[in-house]
Structure 1
Amino acid sequence: MAFSQSTDFTLKDIKFKSQGITLSGSVLIPENPLAAVVIVHGSDPVKREMQFAKRLAKEGIAVLTYDKRGVGESEGVYVGPSVGTNNIDTTNLNLLSRDANAAVNAFGTYLKNKKISIGLIGFSQAGWIIPIAARNNPKIGFMVLFSCPTITTLEQLRFQFYTNGNNSFWENHTDSDAREHTKNDPNKYQFVPTDPKISLHTLSIPGLWLFGEKDIQIPVKLCIEELNTLKAQGKPYEYTLFPALGHNTVSASNTTPFDISVQWIKQKTFIIKK
């Protein structure tokens, strides 16, 4: 199915409230948007994702991107290992999901077409945040997840400790090795894990996951196995695996994952609109 769209869009800086603080962001709106998305951050202390947002807007997709809480012009406190705190604690993930929902609610006021479908698109840690947000906000119509886990936070940490940032990890280890370690290694942290499947079991909106097979942050084949279980239960979830890529599946040097995600968004929102 082919979609054509002008590359022109308007850009406006905005502020919106979430859990008692003010978050700052930007909305990019094409003349006649085919869909709309809010960008959800990964774990790093990142500002609004303007480069990625402009790529989407040029494809006819309206975008809201915002500075993560405690970062850039957004109020609040950033939580993460770089500042000595645990950013995948259940409390923090739930808080970030409320920020995403506040962004969705604010975004609707800037869209002329109030019936346009709004989705969430995110990276890495967003794999735990997006399902929670979608479960709690009926305005969210779809989700796109780049290199996002479908396993628990503790399982992901076990895998990450095992790979230890070694880019050559998969040259010397098998999927069986990684699976054994991910499932059974003693925990380095003691906290209540977040399991995205709890939310994914309750959702009925379409979802697309994009994985790089050489990922050393999440065990991709185990994540795909979890997705296949959900698909077998009738959930409208899809995934694409890129054998040559690692954790960064949105690299500008390889546009294929981005291109697939854009076409998928346009097709799904067209179906939702119909």
Structure 2
Amino acid sequence: MKLISQLLLLSHFITMIGCNKSIGQKKSLSTQEGAQSVDSIKTENVTFESEGIKLAGTIYSPKNPHSAVVIVHGSDQVPRMTKLAVLLAQNDILVLTYDKRGVGESGGVYAGPEVGTNNIRIENLNLLAKDASSAVNVIHKKNENLPIGLIGASQAGWIIPITANKNALVEFMVLLSSPTITTLEQLRFQFYTNGRTDFWDNHTEQDAREHIKNDPDKYQFEATDPKESLKTLSIPGLWVFGEKDIQIPVKMCIEHINTFKTQNKPFEYVLFPSLGHNTNKTEPIEISVNWIKQKSLEIMNNK
């Protein structure tokens, strides 16, 4: 029985899908003792270019990596995600994390609710995908023999599939609390839940679906649909969801993934009934790390 099957039951302006804190910054993430101590992990600060600007980041190198990942940001003004990078490196994963465009030591202009701009317009998501693709090229040069993947939360669910389509070096992806619905559909749902933590105590799945289908959009812009990118991908993907999420309609997203699975896409998901949008907890991260190790071994064996 496959691992995922065993674990299955286990605004203001355009926001904010879920990444009001980055997965590397949440206090709930336990930096447990991993395969290596922090002292044994080498770090290297790097700069690289993307669309005419310089981005700054750090590479975390374990002694014997089995794979490499680039950490993709959510929606916030997020610098490099050092805690998550260390945890992944402790588990023998080569990691590149960088300051988001317009944040920290990276150049460019940040778009987002904090500065009153639309960070989920298609132009911005494509720009951030190009940044992630440039980061993939950097980590590939660090070790050209390793399978490379992308990991990110929330808004990264729109960015990662675009990046994987742009860059053939990407061989797997891990998406935490990430949408498979369009940007406009996500906004309809988020405006409906309005931050109410008891939303699912007072509404049904049918209520949410009807609202997402029929509610008029408060803002007019071209929607990004991650399914358009996902349908062209054949790389393994893992989605990690919390059933009580009020930022994205999880059951709708799972339905989309199941449709892809019937088309023989190598997509899997894990659902945690007690969690909400913050799946940045010990068990979900451990599952993600083990999944990366498993898929990396399969990729290496198939080469």
TM over 0.5, shorter chain: yes
Give the counterpart of 2:146 among 95, 98, 116.
116
Q: Deviations over 1:181-226 (max 9, x none)?
A: 1111100110010000001000000000000001010000000001
- Measured on the aligned residues, the alpha-carbon RMSD in Å equals 1.2
1:33 matches 2:60:
no
Query: Post-superposition shift, 1:266?
Result: 0.2
Query: Post-superposition shift, 1:99?
Result: 0.2
CA distance in 1, matches of 2:35, 2:110: 37
Which residue identity is paired with 2:249?
A: P
CA distance in 1, matches of 2:211, 2:42: 48
Query: Post-superposition shift, 1:171?
Result: 1.0
Determine the structure 2 residue equivalent to 1:10.
42
Q: Deviations over 1:169-190 (max 9, x none)?
A: 1111111111111111100110
Determine the structure 1 residue equivalent to 2:298.
271
Query: Post-superposition shift, 1:6?
Result: 3.4
CA distance in 2, matches of 1:189, 1:215: 23
Pairing 1:22-171 to 2, within 5 Å after superposition: 22-111=54-143, 114-171=144-201
Give the counterpart of 2:259 among 229, 233, 241.
229
Query: Post-superposition shift, 1:241?
Result: 0.2
Query: Post-superposition shift, 1:12?
Result: 1.1
Give the counterpart of 2:274 among 244, 250, 256.
244
CA distance in 2, matches of 1:120, 1:141: 8
1:187 matches 2:217:
yes
CA distance in 1, matches of 2:263, 2:140: 32
Determine the structure 2 residue equivalent to 1:262.
289
Q: Deviations over 1:15-56 (max 9, x none)?
A: 100000000000001011011100000001110010011110
Which residue identity is paired with 1:87?
A: N
CA distance in 2, matches of 1:6, 1:86: 41
CA distance in 1, matches of 2:201, 2:262: 32
CA distance in 2, matches of 1:176, 1:115: 47
Determine the structure 1 residue equivalent to 2:24.
none
| Structure with higher RCO (Cα < 8 A, 6+ apart) | 2
Which residue identity is paired with 1:28?
A: Y
Query: Post-superposition shift, 1:109?
Result: 1.9
Q: Deviations over 1:49-70 (max 9, x none)?
A: 1001111011111100000000
**Which structure 2 segments of 5+ residues have no match?**
3-33
Instruction: Calculate the TM-score normalised by the size of structure 2.
Output: 0.87
SS state of the match for residue 202, structure 1?
coil
Instruction: Calculate the TM-score normalised by the size of structure 1.
Output: 0.96
Identity score, percent: 63
SS state of the match for residue 215, structure 1?
coil
SS state of the match for residue 42, structure 2?
strand
Query: Post-superposition shift, 1:5?
Result: 4.2
CA distance in 2, matches of 1:248, 1:61: 23
CA distance in 2, matches of 1:75, 1:22: 5
CA distance in 2, matches of 1:27, 1:175: 42
CA distance in 2, matches of 1:5, 1:141: 23
SS state of the match for residue 87, structure 2?
helix
